[in-house]
Structure 1
Amino acid sequence: MQDDRTERDFSVRSEEEQQAFLQETWCDHCQEANLGMKNPREYLYKGVVFIEGECKRCGNVVLTELTEDDF
């Protein structure tokens, strides 16, 4: 449901925060942590903030759901 997404600007996060989100990942396809992601997009969907990108190893979608602890 792309229409329900509200795009957010990932680049306004601090460099430290961006690097943490780009490196601390989980890829469902590779079944491995911290492979990294590229081409991040941040958006709000149904009140939840997500950062979505591509696994640096396999290229499949990597999705990070932010919790209140991440803010």
Structure 2
Amino acid sequence: MSDRLEETKIERDFTARSTEEQKDFLSQTWCNQCMEVDLGMTNPREYESKDRVWIEGECVRCGHLTVTEIVEEDE
């Protein structure tokens, strides 16, 4: 767990993704506060580190931090 706290994160341009991809990532969420799936996310910010890519935003219902980790598949 401490590795993630110490990881160096670089902000990426979430809006560089296709509109369809953005819509999917903003709707397919999990909120640890509400304990519910697909409530939605606002104010997205995309980041990357050496080992992962993720989007942080605010839960549409409660406003708490929501994190969606992205698994980029090879095509």
TM norm structure 2: 0.85
String of CA shifts for 1:1-60, please: whole Å, max 9, x gaps.
Answer: 587111100000000000000001000100000100000000002320000000000000
Equivalent positions of 1:34-45 (< 5 A) are 34-45=38-49
Number of equivalent positions: 71
* CA spacing shift, 1:39–1:12, aligned 2, 3 Å: same
TM norm structure 1: 0.89
CA-based RMSD of the aligned residues comes to: 2.1
Q: Distance in 1 between matches of 2:36 and 2:63?
A: 13
- Unaligned stretches of 5+ in structure 2? none
Q: Distance in 2 between matches of 1:2 and 1:63?
A: 17
- Unaligned stretches of 5+ in structure 1? none
Higher-strand-fraction structure: 1
Identity fraction in percent: 53
Detail structure 1 runs of 4+ shifted over 2 Å in the superposition: none
Q: Distance in 1 between matches of 2:51 and 2:66?
A: 19
